[in-house]
Amino acid sequence: MKAKITITPKAAILDPQGQQVQQTMEQLGYGDIRRARVGKYLELELGDDTPELRNQVQRACREFLSNPVIEDFQLDFE
């Protein structure tokens, strides 16, 4: 089983990297870029698919993989 984790800044948080990406894309002629956000992506290879393991990964996302004050995370299992 794999856990796919996407971590992004919360919508209300200033994202200087995202702003730079947006400005650069516009300067290079990439159309009407309204907003860019820069985040992190993690993939974890896991053992057997159990509710306990899923809960552990979700807890890790909340407690130390993301900063809950300024970041949101999306967790998908496959």
Q: Note if the pTM is more than 0.95.
A: no
Compute the Cα dihedral for 65, 69, 71, 73 and give only its sign: positive
Residue 64 sits at the vertex; the CA angle it makes with 18 and 8, to the nearest 5 degrees, is 20
How many structural domains does the chain have?
A: 1
The whole-angstrom distance between residue 24's C-alpha and the CA centroid of its chain comes to 21
Q: Report pLDDT digits (tens) over 16-47.
A: 999 999 999 999 999 889 999 999 999 999 99
Residue 57's CATH number: 3.30.1280.10
Residue 76 sits at the vertex; the CA angle it makes with 16 and 48, to the nearest 5 degrees, is 135
Domain hosting residue 13, numbered range: 2-77
Q: Report pLDDT digits (tens) over 47-56.
A: 999 999 999 9
